[in-house]
Structure formats: C-alpha cells, structure tokens
C-alpha cells in the first residue's frame, strides 16, 4: 500500500501537533503547605549580618542546607539567593585575585563568566567537546598560562564535563576548579554526584530549572575553609570578620546573597522530588532519541559511559552540509508543524559586546586595560571553533524542561521531525 505524506505545514499543509503540551510545573500542594507554614510563623528570614547564631540563617535555611548535604553527599551546602550569586561567591571564596585568569566555557549562560569578571579577574575562553558541549580538556590545557588560577567547568544541558581529566589537569597546574552544575542536578559522572567533584560547585533553583524555589542556588563543597568564606561573602563578610576572628581578609567583601525561609521550605519539598523529575526527563529523552535515531544528518544527544543526563536541554547536532538546507529553514519547518521549544544555537560568550569591546566596569576598559591584567587576552572570533560552528550553523536544542511530555507527545514530536525529514528536498 502506498502511504501518502501530507504536505509540510510551512508549505501550507496540516500541522502535526495541534494541541499545546502540558507545561512542566514542579510545584505541588506540598510546597504550598510548606510555604504557608513559614508565612504563618511570621519569620520569613532570620539572617543577621553580624557574628551571632543568626549569621547562619533561620531553621528552614539551615534545615534545607543539612538536607542538601545529605542528598548530594557533601560536607557543606550553602544556600544563596540565586546561582549567579553562588558563582560570584565561589570565585571570591577560592581566593581569586584581580588580574588572575580563569578558564571558562563560552557555551554557557553569561553569569558563569561574569562571576569571574566580578572580582576583576579575566575570563579566558577554552573550546568545548562536540559530544557533550562541555569544556574540552585539550583546549583547557592549551589555554593555561602562568596567570591561570582556576577553571570554571559547566555541566551544560545536564551532562557532566570530563571531571577526572579536568581535575587532573588542575592538580598538575595547581588550579582550583568550580563547577557550574545549574543544569545537571541529580546526575552522575562515573557513579559520582555531578557538581560535587570540583573544589566548589552547585546548582541553580531558578524557575526554569528541574527544581526551583522561584529564585535561588545551592553551593556545595567538602572544603571547610571555602565553606566558611562562602558563608561570609553571602552575608556581609566585612562586618563579621573582626568578631569571628577571621585573619585572612582576601575577598572578604560581603553581599546580601541570603535565601529566605519560604524558599528554603519549598526547596526541602522540591529536593524530595528531584529524582522523579530527572527520571521523567530521561524517559522522554530516551524515547525521543529512539524516534530520531534513524534520521540522516541529525545527531541526537550523546551520553558518555557511566554518566547520566538530566536533559535540561535535549541537544541535537545537524549535518547541514549533508542535509543541504540551512538550520533556520529546518527550524521554521519544525515550528510550523507545531513543535514548541526549539532553539537554533546556544551561546558563544566571547562574542558578546562586553568581551568584543572589552568594556565592563566603567567606560575605560577595566579590568582589561588596567595594569592588573598581565597580558592581552583574545576574544576574537576563531578562538573557539567548535563552539562557534555549533552556534552559527549546526546546533539545534529542544527545551525538555518546558513541558511535561507524555509518550504520545514525544511520538508527535518524532512524527513532526519525520515529516520534515521526508520532505527535506522541498525546503531547498
């Protein structure tokens, strides 16, 4: 029997997906009850920015932190009001000096690199691996100079970076490692918890992530000294160091990075659900990969041996030369079929105006123009060829955290891809 294929929606045919999928919502009645109890208590935050017991926050803040320590298997968890704040605190806590170089991925959310600049240190962008989109250890090593002090590793889209290799490089060169695991909570790298393998790491709790408290972040570390400094930077360090007897004043410039009692009460409930949420993303992603596996010129996500993926994003790579159709046209055709949540390209931070013009603090090019900067660091196009090519032409992402996908939803997405692929010639 001859099966007739419907014309593509972009060319006037019927859409494959006609009903919107259910929006992902991790918040349930448990969170409502937990938040309500805090509100009824009247104590929405108990932090105090001086050296007394309330320096560490109220019962929900401390309760959530102890729960995170048990959950992620670390000595210290420190909550903060956003993961951006967490990254800033982490760079300060490891003792970065103005002018120090920190190697970072360009393929990440902007805050990862801005946290470095924040302490007047210099972001140096290394390229990424095409398989996982995480820092390429070879490129990291090639970018180490006498001024390099740390590596900021990102477990992007939900898959861990090559931590064993990166930690070995760091050890060989005496560098500290921070891991930005905002997108990969509840995943494993060779049987170990992603985010906990660096000197300090952590997770975002913003609205778009697997679990959230509205805004928020969790720092994790096994290092007592780093943990102390994180807590000081979080809560007005300069006012506290005297009474606390802290003598090493490096970066003891404080903020109010404190997370509230309501958020931490919600966080306690969210943490209980994290495993289930990640498992449901994995189920949907594995079904999608099965469905897309045989489409020519499309590479579904790769999961390395002994690793798990949280699928914050479902990253695909197109072979646009082979397909003979530009990515924008394929994306438009898929969107016309009703697929919502696709994105062409992700990020190439070094190409942002701030780096291209080397203008951050004030108007005179600080910190790059200052004599704290040891050498001319390049942000020109071409320094990260893998990331740049993916961003310009090959990468296609699908936001798995936007919807709560049923098997039938996934099958419809597959059907939309199959339809577009079957008629790729018509898009030329």
Ligand X SMILES: *Cc1c(COP(=O)(O)O)cnc(C)c1O
DSSP strand E in 12-99: where?
76-80
Q: What are phi and psi of 397, to 5 degrees?
A: -105, 150
Q: CA gyration radius for the chain? A: 23
User: 382 in helix, strand or coil?
Assistant: coil
Q: In whole angstroms, how close is the CB of 81 to ligand X at the nearest point?
A: 9
Residue 108 near ligand X by CB under 6 A: yes
Query: Closest CB to ligand X among 183 and 196?
Result: 183
User: Cα-Cα-Cα-Cα dihedral of 152, 147, 224, 191, to 10°?
Assistant: 40
> CA 422, CA 411: separation in Å to the nearest integer?
16
Q: In whole angstroms, how close is the CB of 12 to ligand X at the nearest point?
A: 38
The DSSP string of 273-304 is HHHHHHHHHHHHHHHHHHHHTTSTTEE-----
Binding mask 142-161 for ligand X (x = CB under 6 A): ------------x-------
Query: Closest CB to ligand X among 256 and 406?
Result: 256
Query: Closest CB to ligand X among 154 and 331?
Result: 154
Q: In 3D, which of 90, 67, 71 has the Cα closest to residue 201?
A: 90
Cα separations in angstroms, 275 against 71, 95, 224, 373? 10, 34, 28, 44
Residue 320 near ligand X by CB under 6 A: no
Q: Which of 80-88, 233-241, 345-353, 394-402 is the region at the interface with ligand X (rule: CB under 6 A)? A: 80-88
How many residues touch ligand X under the rule CB under 6 A: the total is 14
Q: In whole angstroms, how close is the CB of 215 to ligand X at the nearest point?
A: 6
Query: Closest CB to ligand X among 246 and 386?
Result: 386
Q: Which of 77-85, 255-263, 301-309, 354-362 is the region at the interface with ligand X (rule: CB under 6 A)? A: 77-85
One of 217, 260, 315, 367 touching ligand X (CB under 6 A):
217
Q: Pairing mode, if any, of strands 148-154 and 101-104?
A: parallel
User: 362 in helix, strand or coil?
Assistant: coil
H helix intervals, 42-126 = 59-72, 83-93, 111-117
Cα separations in angstroms, 84 against 109, 249, 355? 10, 23, 19
Binding mask 165-194 for ligand X (x = CB under 6 A): ---------------x-xx-----------
Query: Closest CB to ligand X among 109 and 285?
Result: 109
One of 47, 55, 83, 417 touching ligand X (CB under 6 A):
83
> CA 267, CA 82: separation in Å to the nearest integer?
13
> CA 300, CA 410: separation in Å to the nearest integer?
14
Residue 84 near ligand X by CB under 6 A: yes
Q: In whole angstroms, how close is the CB of 113 to ligand X at the nearest point?
A: 10
One of 206, 280, 393, 423 touching ligand X (CB under 6 A):
206
Residue 109 near ligand X by CB under 6 A: yes
User: Cα-Cα-Cα-Cα dihedral of 276, 282, 286, 292, to 10°?
Assistant: 130
Q: In whole angstroms, how close is the CB of 153 to ligand X at the nearest point?
A: 11
> CA 197, CA 178: separation in Å to the nearest integer?
9
Q: What are phi and psi of 373, to 5 degrees?
A: -80, 125
Q: Which of 107-115, 218-226, 277-285, 411-419 is the region at the interface with ligand X (rule: CB under 6 A)? A: 107-115
One of 16, 79, 112, 143 touching ligand X (CB under 6 A):
112
Residue 127 near ligand X by CB under 6 A: no
Q: In whole angstroms, how close is the CB of 213 to ligand X at the nearest point?
A: 10
Q: In whole angstroms, how close is the CB of 109 to ligand X at the nearest point?
A: 4
Q: In whole angstroms, how close is the CB of 393 to ligand X at the nearest point?
A: 23
Q: Which residues bind ligand X (CB under 6 A)?
A: 82-84, 108-109, 111-112, 154, 180, 182-183, 204, 206, 217
């Amino acid at each position: 029997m001859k099966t007739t294929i419907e014309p593509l929606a972009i060319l006037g045919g019927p859409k494959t997906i006609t009903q919107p999928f259910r929006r992902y919502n991790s918040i349930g009645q448990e969170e409502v009850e937990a938040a309500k109890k805090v509100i009824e208590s009247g104590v929405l935050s108990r932090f105090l920015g001086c050296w007394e017991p309330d320096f560490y926050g109220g019962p929900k803040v401390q309760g959530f932190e102890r729960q995170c320590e048990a959950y992620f298997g670390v000595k210290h968890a420190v909550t903060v009001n956003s993961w951006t704040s967490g990254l800033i605190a982490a760079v300060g806590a490891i003792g970065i000096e103005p002018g120090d170089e920190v190697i970072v991925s360009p393929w990440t959310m902007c805050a990862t690199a801005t946290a470095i600049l924040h302490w007047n240190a210099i972001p140096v962008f290394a390229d990424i691996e095409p398989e996982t989109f995480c820092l390429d250890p070879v490129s990291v090593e090639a970018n180490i100079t006498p001024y390099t002090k740390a590596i900021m590793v990102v477990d992007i889209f939900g898959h861990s970076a090559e931590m064993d290799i990166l930690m070995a490089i760091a050890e060989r060169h005496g560098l500290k490692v921070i891991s930005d695991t905002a997108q990969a909570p509840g995943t494993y790298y060779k049987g170990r918890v992603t985010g906990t393998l660096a000197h300090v790491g952590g997770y975002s709790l913003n609205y778009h992530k697997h679990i959230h408290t509205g805004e928020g972040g969790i720092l994790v570390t096994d290092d007592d000294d780093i943990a102390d400094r994180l807590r000081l930077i979080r809560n007005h360090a300069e006012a506290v160091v005297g009474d606390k007897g802290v003598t090493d004043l490096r970066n003891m410039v404080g903020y109010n990075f404190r997370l509230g009692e309501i958020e931490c009460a919600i966080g306690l409930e969210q943490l209980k659900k994290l495993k289930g949420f990640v498992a449901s993303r994995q189920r949907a992603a594995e079904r999608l990969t099965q469905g897309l596996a045989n489409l020519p010129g499309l590479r579904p996500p790769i999961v390395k041996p002994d690793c798990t993926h949280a699928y914050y994003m479902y990253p695909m790579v197109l072979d646009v030369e082979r397909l003979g159709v530009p990515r924008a046209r394929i994306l438009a055709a898929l969107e016309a079929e009703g697929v919502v949540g696709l994105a062409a390209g992700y990020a190439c931070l070094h190409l942002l105006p701030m780096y291209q013009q080397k203008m951050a603090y004030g108007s005179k090019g600080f910190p790059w123009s200052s004599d704290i900067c040891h050498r001319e660091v390049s942000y020109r196009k071409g320094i990260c060829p893998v990331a740049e090519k993916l961003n310009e032409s090959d990468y296609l992402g699908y936001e798995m955290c936007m919807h709560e996908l049923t098997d039938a939803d996934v099958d419809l997405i597959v059907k939309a891809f199959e339809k577009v692929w079957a008629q790729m010639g018509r898009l030329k």
